[in-house]
């Protein structure tokens, strides 16, 4: 697809998603507890100005089969935010993660369209992380694999999300080239002990074997933090440190100490 065609498509899409926004939940480096990235999370601005979750948007997408349309719109939105934060010169090594469904990833022009959007938004590909969700439903596997390879070749990072929840993702590690594994909190539970530390340690070892870093999601208390820290997890995401906020509420003082995010991101 040409750059002109992509721009025209984005213009048409933006008129359909005027109430859609992205909130951002920081991801913190375990070694210093400073933010090193953030996951973009879908939100809707209601007529009364209140903010609601993604449920109504996702139902609309499912009913109208507009998965790809919304995905590319959100990637453009995340790219613009990443560019703004990067230009502020306090986001060295920063990554903005955006969720992508298997259906969209399996499109033969997915990587091309993503890279075109990043170019149009003047966003460094190294500041974007594509998070693969529901990978147990991955259709068009060979095509999806090619899209991942093209993205990583352009220095876009790729993460395997919700690791350990539902269907196992372990088999994918031998075939999907990913830079990051995001562990679902079901792996370590709300009150983890020695057994959970051992389980998470095994996941960390698997990640290291394939050259990936590990993020523990859903960390809400110190016991969970102590578990994933003891297991050697690289990054933590969860309410213990930061909730998801609209971008104007995050910069520049969103780190626990009020300082800029760390530059430890791999």
* Beta pairing partners, 183: 163, 216
The answer to whether 37 and 97 have CB atoms below 8 angstroms apart is: yes
E strands within 14-156?
20-29, 35-45, 51-52, 96-100, 128-132
11-15, 21-25, 35-39, 262-266: the lowest-pLDDT one: 11-15
Whether the bond between 116 and the residue before it is cis, its omega within 30 degrees of 0, is no
pLDDT band, residue 86 (cuts 50/70/90): confident
pLDDT above 80: residue 22: yes
CA pair distance 87, 108, nearest whole angstrom: 32
- Residue with the larger pLDDT of the pair 44 and 196: 196
CB atoms within 10 A of CB 175: 8
pLDDT above 90: residue 168: no
At residue 55, the pLDDT reads 77
At residue 102, the pLDDT reads 87
pLDDT band, residue 172 (cuts 50/70/90): confident
CA pair distance 148, 108, nearest whole angstrom: 11
SS3 52: strand
pLDDT band, residue 56 (cuts 50/70/90): confident
If we measure between CA atoms, which residue out of 144, 72, 93 comes closest to residue 160?
A: 144
At residue 1, the pLDDT reads 53
Top mean pLDDT of 147-151, 172-176, 260-264 is at 147-151
What is the maximum span of the chain, computed from C-alpha positions, in angstroms? Answer: 56
Helix (H) or strand (E) holding 236: strand 235-236
From residue 77, give the alpha-carbon distance in Å to each of 86, 128, 237: 14, 11, 21
Return the axis-axis angle of helices 67-87 and 110-120, rounded to nearest 10°: 40
pLDDT above 90: residue 78: yes
CA pair distance 171, 31, nearest whole angstrom: 29
Q: What is the pLDDT of residues 202-211, one digit of tens each?
A: 999 999 999 9
The answer to whether 70 and 64 have CB atoms below 8 angstroms apart is: no
Q: Whole-number mean pLDDT of the chain?
A: 84
pLDDT band, residue 251 (cuts 50/70/90): low
Query: What average pLDDT score do residues 76-91 get?
Result: 83
The answer to whether 207 and 187 have CB atoms below 8 angstroms apart is: no
Question: Which domains are seen in the chain, by residue range?
Answer: 3-249 (3.20.20.450)
Question: How many whole angstroms from its chain centre is CA 42?
Answer: 11
Query: What average pLDDT score do residues 180-186 get?
Result: 94
Question: How many whole angstroms from its chain centre is CA 110?
Answer: 16
Would the pTM of this model clear 0.85, i.e. be above it? yes
Strands 20-29 and 51-52, bridge-based pairing: unpaired
Share of the chain above pLDDT 70, in %: 82
Q: What is the pLDDT of residues 185-194, one digit of tens each?
A: 999 999 999 9
């Amino acid at each position: 697809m040409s750059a002109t065609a992509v721009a025209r498509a984005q213009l048409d899409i933006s008129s359909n998603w005027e109430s859609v926004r992205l909130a951002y939940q920081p991801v913190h480096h375990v070694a210093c507890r400073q933010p090193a990235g953030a996951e973009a999370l879908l939100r809707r601005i209601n007529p009364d100005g209140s903010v609601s979750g993604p449920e109504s948007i996702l139902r609309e997408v499912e009913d109208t089969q507009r998965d790809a349309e919304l995905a590319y719109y959100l990637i453009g939105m995340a790219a613009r935010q990443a560019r703004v934060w990067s230009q502020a010169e306090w986001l060295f090594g920063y990554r903005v993660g955006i969720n992508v469904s298997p259906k969209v990833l399996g499109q033969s022009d997915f990587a091309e369209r993503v890279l075109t959007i990043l170019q149009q938004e003047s966003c460094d590909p190294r500041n974007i992380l594509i998070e693969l969700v529901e990978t147990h439903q991955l259709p068009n596997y060979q095509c999806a694999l090619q899209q991942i390879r093209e993205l990583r070749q352009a220095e876009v990072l790729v993460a395997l999300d919700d690791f350990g929840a539902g269907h196992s993702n372990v088999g994918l590690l031998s075939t999907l080239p990913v830079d990051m594994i995001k562990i679902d909190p079901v792996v370590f539970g709300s009150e983890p002990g020695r057994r959970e530390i051992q389980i998470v340690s095994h996941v960390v070892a698997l990640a290291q074997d394939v050259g990936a870093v590990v993020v523990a999601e859903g960390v809400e208390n110190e016991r969970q933090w102590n578990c994933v820290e003891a297991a050697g997890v690289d990054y933590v995401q969860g309410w213990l440190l930061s909730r998801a906020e609209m971008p104007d509420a995050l910069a520049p003082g969103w780190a626990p100490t009020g300082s800029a995010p760390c530059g430890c991101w791999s």
